[in-house]
Structures are given as structure tokens and as C-alpha cells.
């Protein structure tokens, strides 16, 4: 690079752009694809895996294909949308890749039909390759935050942030799916579309059992409260306001309230993600809403008119990113007969923090007006120590006799969410989890474990007991299934660091490890497969975990594109996406020094869930709503 002394593509391109005023910079990265920087945004566009014969002319082909697409677009570079840019660079990557499969330079140039074919083939391959087997994913296009989680008349509803015209974030809609068991999901038509008030950002659903809203003619129905996002016509600045929609037919169709928006704070730019619940002691509805660096609480008798009752958080917890997606609920502490309130807050990506977007929680009291933190202001509790669990919220209106508080999160991270290599669809949810409170030496903390309904997917189990593992004699086992649930009880008193390696037939391996000296549970996905779509993806990270009587218990779920780890009955959770170069086919457990003992090791093969192919396809397990 001209006058630069750095091998960092992102840093170097930024310096070039600032130094010379270059509008668009593209750096080719051979088979890895390319990196671009244009008009205030940048990113990586993955390449294509081909059998290269002759690389002569690959760079010229890339540039020729890119110039062809630019000229065909017929607009200035600054007018190109991000989607157009990625489409152009994907086309150029494909052209450059195809050239290498033939001898020569000019005579090896592919036709546009050949380029289109490899792009479509690659999309289909990626769809099949990384489509999760038991995590919820969209039929197609983009998915992020779960919204409007509600249980109503025997059906669990999952709404989610959805862009139905792209596999990247864009104008938000509410996608919709339903289930009777939290495991098998049926895709439904889009529930909420953008309108004159803006795009449909995150929010919640509740059942208005007593028709306090007056919208159900003496009956009951579902109320959705959500954020409308647009720009203020006077200033051009982003604007976020709260609105309402209602459904009288169990969520099949929705009607926007004529009085929208119902809540507006003119001085707040970040003002979104309402989460509403009925507070019996106060006999009113409570709304928790985030405003950049704090939570605001509102009260209402009718779900349509709201008054501010309290604020929390400006100097509490982590402020590494903007606060988002609040949730507030009460849980019992073990079997003590006592309870505490839990406030969940997700925080957005901060470029200076390697963790990216993640979720914290607070333990305390709610007096009907505001939340009071039990812990010191600088005491931070994290929900998940992996990289890919964000914006989690819980289901409303689960029956009292059920007694569970069930949460689900978006299984991605804003650092690289728009760039994960999944093709025509992008985004998935974590497993639904039961939240509980337990009292420990350090205070009251959350535990989480996947819902028991997941066990119905088990189709076969292998068991081992009292297996000794040393550096010279690791435990190895071939895996005949790519979808697995693993239960491991490991005695670490006579050993050092223990590794559970899940390996593919290629070069990929994902390591779940425990270091007893540091008392540190970790995931290492630096060699997990495709990692080069973003520099922050390939990494090793974890959390402190104290063994119990010299033992650790791990409960692991392995999907085609993800691994979830729950340790010591859910005291620690780690959730990570992975994109292996080939299906996982063997597992290896090793000790760094000394000897560890697998007191028990159970490996359950799992069936894949059936997700109907879009709203028009007939499902084998149709959910009646």
C-alpha cells in the first residue's frame, strides 16, 4: 500500500481513504474473497472454493467483472446501496474464481451465465451445508432479534426481526412462526409490515385477557407493542416511537391501531424495544423501554395510554454499547419461598470491545414504578459468555401451572451478523431455555438449561463410564450423526487442561476446554472452519467456572452451524456459531497432563426438526391457530 506500513487490511484501507480521498477501495484476498470500503461502511465478501489450475489473469478477471457491474448499474459510486455493492463484489469474486479453473488468461474468461450459475450453486450449497438441524432459522432471507414471544391457547408464537428481500439487515418486518412444543416450528405469513410511520423494530406481545384495551368487543385477543422507526421530517434525524397492533384471530392477521404512535419522547433518539407485562400488585400494565443508556418504566390501565413511572441504569452495569431489548420478570430462588426480580438488558456492539453485542442482567426488586438493583453499580452479570447470544427475551402468558420462564435469543453478533456465510438465508435462534434463580456464595444468579421438550429429538444414545484419559491415551469416537447432544461428567482432580475436540473430515475442529488452574471454561473456534469472513470471528473465549467436588458437568448441543455449552447445571452458558469445512465426524477428548476421568459420557444422536418450506407449503405437523 502507498506510504503505509501495515498489514491490517481494514486499518490500511481506512488510512488510504482518509489520506487520498479515495471513494471506493477493494482489496482482493484470493480464494478468501475480497474486502471493500465505500461511503462510510466496509466489509468482507466471501470468495468461491474451486479447483484452481492456472491463476493467471484472476485479478484482471475480478476487476473486469467489477467494472462491468458498475457500468451496468448506471449510477455514481456514492449512490450504490450496500446490497448492490455486495452483489457486484460477489459477481467479481465468482468471475475471478472461474478463471483459475482453466488455462490461460483472456481465453479463460467466463460468460455471465457461468458466473450466475456458480453464484446460485454456491448459495444452494451453503443453504444445505449450514442450515441448522434443531435451531430455528428463517425459510429465507434475514432474521435477527426475537420479538413478541407469547403463548396463547396452546400455541407458542415466535415473531422476529425480518428483512424478506435480502439476507442482510434492512427495512424491518415482523416474521412469524408458531409451535406447540418449542421444538418444531411452522413458518407463518409476515405479521407486520412497514407503513407510513416507519419500519417495524423490536417489541412484545401480550394477551389482553380482560379487554382492558377495549379493542376486542368484550372478548380477549393478542396485543403487539413495537417500535416504529423512521426519520423526523423536520430534522431528518432518526426517530423511534412506540405503536400498537392487535389480533382477534390468534395471530393470523393483525390490525394497526388508528391512534399510532401511542408513545413518543421527542428528545430521545434511541427509544425502543417495549416489553410489557401485567403487574398484579399494582393492577396495571408495566412497560420497560430502553433509551440509549438506561431503562424507562411506564404504567398503563389500557395498553394505549402510558405514563412514565421510573428510570434505571444510567450508572449501573455495562455501558460498552447502546442498551437494547429489555425484559423484566420475577423468579423464585431455589425452593426458599423467596423471589427476586430479573432485569435483562442487551448491549450493542462496540468496536473497542472484542465481545461485540451481548446480554447482561440485574438482580433486584421492582416496586411497581422502577427497578432497584441488589448489587453494586459496577457489578456485571452476563447471561452468556459465548459470542452468539443476543437480544434474548422471554415468552409472555405461559400458563401459571407450567411455571417456567422461557427465553430465546438471536444466535449471532452485530460484529459479523451481516457477513456469516449462509447464502440465501441468514440468522438463527438459540435453543429455548428455562431461566431459574439460585443462591450461591457470590449472591443470587441466573441458571439456564434448554427446555425439556428438546429430548424428544433423541434417536439413539452411546454411553461410557469410568474412562481414564491421559495425554498418551485420549478418548476418541467416530460420530455418525452431525446433530448431537452430549452429557459429560468429568473428574479433573488428577489432570490438567482437558479438551473436547469436535473434528470434521477436513481441517476443522472446535474445542470446548476447561483449565482447572485458571478455573476457566472456554470455546476455541479459531480453527472451526470458515472464519475469515470477519477478523473477530475466529477466537478463543470463555468464563470463570469453579468445579464442584473436583468435577465439572458439561451439557453440549452440536448443530451444523452452532455449539451451545451449559456447565454445572447451567451456571455458565456459552453459545457460538461455527461453519465447519465439512460435517463433524469424530470427537476426541484429551488431557494436557496427568489424568482426567470421564465418570460418565453420554452422546445422543438427534433428529432434525421439520420446518415447513414457507407459508404456502403444507406442513406435516400443522399448528392450528
C-alpha–C-alpha distance, residues 254 and 260, integer Å: 14
Give yes or no for residue 81 having a pLDDT over 60: yes
Mean pLDDT of the chain: 92
Three state DSSP letters for 259-308? CCCCECCCCCCCCEEEEEEEECCCCEEEEEEECCCCEEEEEECCCCCCEE
Query: What is the mean predicted confidence (pLDDT) over 412-420?
Result: 97
Lowest mean pLDDT among 170-174, 231-235, 460-464: 231-235
Give yes or no for residue 96 having a pLDDT over 70: yes
Which residue did the predictor score with more confidence, 1 or 236?
Answer: 236
Which residue did the predictor score with more confidence, 245 or 7?
Answer: 245
Architecture category of domain 9-130 in CATH: 3-Layer(aba) Sandwich (3.40)
Give the pLDDT confidence score for residue 48 in this predicted structure. Answer: 85
Lowest mean pLDDT among 88-97, 121-130, 206-215, 277-286: 121-130
Domain spans, the chain: 9-130, 141-450, 458-606
C-alpha–C-alpha distance, residues 33 and 62, integer Å: 10
Task: Report, in angstroms and rounded to the nearest whole number, the Rg of the chain calculated over CA atoms.
Answer: 25
Give 559-583 pLDDT, tens digit per residue.
999 999 999 999 999 999 999 988 8
Which residue did the predictor score with more confidence, 300 or 619?
Answer: 300
C-alpha cell at 397: 402468558
Catalytic residue IDs:
145
C-alpha–C-alpha distance, residues 349 and 352, integer Å: 9
Q: How far is CA 10 from the centre of its chain?
A: 24
| Residue 266 vs residues 242, 291, 311: alpha-carbon distances, Å | 12, 12, 17
Question: What residues does 341 pair with on adjacent strands?
Answer: 330, 364
DSSP type of residue 115: H
Give the pLDDT confidence score for residue 118 in this predicted structure. Answer: 86
Query: What is the mean predicted confidence (pLDDT) over 127-137?
Result: 89
Give 536-554 pLDDT, tens digit per residue.
999 999 999 999 999 999 9
Give yes or no for residue 137 having a pLDDT over 90: yes
Given the C-alpha cell 474468461, which residue does it identify? 109
CA dihedral sign of residues 321, 324, 330, 333: negative
Give 28-49 pLDDT, tens digit per residue.
988 878 889 886 677 778 788 8
Give yes or no for residue 470 having a pLDDT over 90: yes
First to last CA, the chain: 60
Report for 72-76, 94-98, 259-263: range of highest mean pLDDT: 259-263
Percent of the chain with pLDDT over 70: 96
Give yes or no for residue 617 having a pLDDT over 60: no
Query: What is the mean predicted confidence (pLDDT) over 458-476?
Result: 96
Q: Which has the closest alpha carbon to 419: 119, 63, 42? A: 42
The CATH number of the structural domain formed by 141-450 is 2.115.10.20
Give 142-164 pLDDT, tens digit per residue.
999 999 999 999 999 999 999 99
Query: What is the mean predicted confidence (pLDDT) over 299-321?
Result: 97
Reduced to 3 states (helix: H, G, I; strand: E, B; else coil), residue 455 is: helix
Give 317-352 pLDDT, tens digit per residue.
999 999 999 999 999 999 999 999 999 999 999 999
Give the pLDDT confidence score for residue 21 in this predicted structure. Answer: 86
Reduced to 3 states (helix: H, G, I; strand: E, B; else coil), residue 584 is: strand
Give yes or no for residue 619 having a pLDDT over 60: no
| Residue 593 vs residues 94, 185, 492, 508, 587: alpha-carbon distances, Å | 47, 45, 11, 24, 19
C-alpha–C-alpha distance, residues 232 and 241, integer Å: 11
Give the pLDDT confidence score for residue 611 in this predicted structure. Answer: 57
- DSSP per-residue letters across 400-451: TTT---EEEEE---TTTGGG-S-TTEE--BPPPEEEEEEEETTEEEEEEEE-
* Fold that domain 458-606 belongs to in CATH: Jelly Rolls (2.60.120)
C-alpha–C-alpha distance, residues 400 and 385, integer Å: 30
C-alpha–C-alpha distance, residues 472 and 410, integer Å: 40
Amino acid at each position: 500500500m502507498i506510504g503505509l506500513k501495515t498489514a491490517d487490511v481494514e486499518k490500511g484501507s481506512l488510512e488510504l481513504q482518509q489520506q487520498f480521498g479515495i471513494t471506493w477501495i477493494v482489496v482482493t484476498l484470493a480464494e478468501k474473497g475480497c474486502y471493500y470500503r465505500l461511503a462510510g461502511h466496509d466489509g468482507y465478501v466471501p470468495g468461491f472454493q474451486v479447483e484452481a489450475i492456472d491463476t493467471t489473469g484472476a485479478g484482471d478477471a475480478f476487476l473486469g467483472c467489477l467494472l462491468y457491474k458498475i457500468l451496468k448499474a448506471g449510477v455514481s459510486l456514492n449512490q450504490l446501496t450496500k446490497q448492490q455493492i455486495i452483489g457486484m463484489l460477489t459477481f467479481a469474486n465468482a468471475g475471478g474464481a472461474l478463471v483459475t479453473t482453466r488455462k490461460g488468461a483472456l481465453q479463460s474468461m467466463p460468460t455471465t451465465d457461468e458466473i450466475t450459475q456458480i453464484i446460485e450453486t454456491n448459495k444452494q450449497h451453503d443453504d444445505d451445508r449450514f442450515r441448522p438441524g434443531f435451531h430455528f432459522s428463517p425459510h429465507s432471507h434475514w432474521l435477527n432479534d426475537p420479538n413478541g414471544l407469547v403463548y396463547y391457547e396452546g400455541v407458542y408464537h415466535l415473531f422476529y426481526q425480518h428483512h424478506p428481500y435480502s439476507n442482510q439487515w434492512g427495512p424491518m418486518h415482523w416474521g412469524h412462526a408458531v409451535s406447540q412444543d418449542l421444538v418444531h416450528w411452522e413458518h407463518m405469513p409476515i405479521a407486520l409490515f412497514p407503513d407510513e410511520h416507519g419500519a417495524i423494530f423490536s417489541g412484545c406481545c401480550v394477551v389482553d385477557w380482560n379487554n382492558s384495551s377495549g379493542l376486542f368487543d368484550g372478548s380477549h385477543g393478542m396485543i403487539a407493542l413495537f417500535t416504529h422507526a423512521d426519520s423526523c421530517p423536520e430534522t431528518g434525524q432518526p426517530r423511534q416511537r412506540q405503536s400498537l397492533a392487535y389480533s382477534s384471530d390468534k395471530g393470523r392477521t393483525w390490525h394497526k391501531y388508528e391512534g399510532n404512535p401511542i408513545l413518543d419522547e421527542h428528545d430521545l433518539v434511541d427509544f425502543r424495544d417495549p416489553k410489557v407485562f401485567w403487574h398484579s400488585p399494582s393492577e396495571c400494565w408495566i412497560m420497560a423501554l430502553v433509551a440509549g443508556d438506561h431503562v424507562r418504566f411506564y404504567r398503563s390501565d389500557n395498553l394505549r395510554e402510558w405514563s412514565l413511572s421510573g428510570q434505571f441504569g444510567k450508572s449501573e452495569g455495562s455501558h460498552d454499547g447502546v442498551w437494547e431489548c429489555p425484559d423484566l420478570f420475577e423468579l423464585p430462588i431455589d425452593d426458599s419461598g423467596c423471589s427476586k426480580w430479573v432485569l435483562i438488558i442487551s448491549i450493542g456492539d462496540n468496536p473497542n470491545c472484542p465481545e461485540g453485542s451481548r446480554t447482561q442482567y440485574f438482580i433486584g426488586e421492582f416496586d411497581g414504578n422502577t427497578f432497584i438493583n441488589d448489587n453494586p453499580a459496577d457489578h456485571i452479570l452476563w447471561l452468556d459468555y459465548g459470542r452468539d447470544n443476543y437480544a434474548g427475551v422471554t415468552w409472555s402468558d405461559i400458563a401459571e401451572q407450567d411455571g417456567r420462564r422461557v427465553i430465546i435469543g438471536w444466535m449471532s453478533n452485530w460484529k459479523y451478523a451481516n457477513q456469516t456465510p449462509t447464502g440465501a438465508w441468514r440468522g438463527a435462534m438459540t435453543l429455548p431455555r428455562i431461566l431459574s434463580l439460585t443462591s450461591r456464595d457470590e449472591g443470587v444468579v441466573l441458571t439456564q438449561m434448554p427446555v425439556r421438550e428438546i429430548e424428544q429429538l433423541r434417536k439413539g444414545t452411546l454411553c461410557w463410564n469410568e474412562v481414564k484419559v491421559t495425554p498418551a491415551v485420549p478418548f476418541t469416537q467416530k460420530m455418525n450423526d452431525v446433530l448431537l447432544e452430549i452429557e459429560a461428567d468429568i473428574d479433573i482432580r488428577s489432570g490438567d487442561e482437558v479438551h473436547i475436540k469436535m473434528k470434521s473430515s477436513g481441517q476443522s475442529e472446535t474445542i470446548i476446554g476447561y483449565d482447572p488452574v485458571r478455573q476457566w471454561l472456554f470455546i476455541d473456534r479459531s480453527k472451526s472452519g470458515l472464519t475469515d469472513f470477519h477478523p473477530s470471528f475466529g477466537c478463543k473465549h470463555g468464563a470463570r467456572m469453579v468445579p464442584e467436588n473436583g468435577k465439572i458437568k458439561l451439557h453440549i448441543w452440536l448443530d451444523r452451524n452452532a455449539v451451545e455449552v451449559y456447565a454445572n447445571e447451567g451456571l455458565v452458558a456459552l453459545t457460538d456459531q461455527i461453519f465447519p469445512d465439512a460435517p463433524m465426524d469424530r470427537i476426541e477428548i484429551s488431557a494436557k497432563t496427568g489424568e482426567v476421568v470421564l465418570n460418565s459420557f453420554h452422546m445422543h444422536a438427534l433428529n432434525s426438526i421439520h420446518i415447513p418450506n414457507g407459508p404456502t407449503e403444507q406442513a406435516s405437523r400443522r399448528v392450528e391457530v
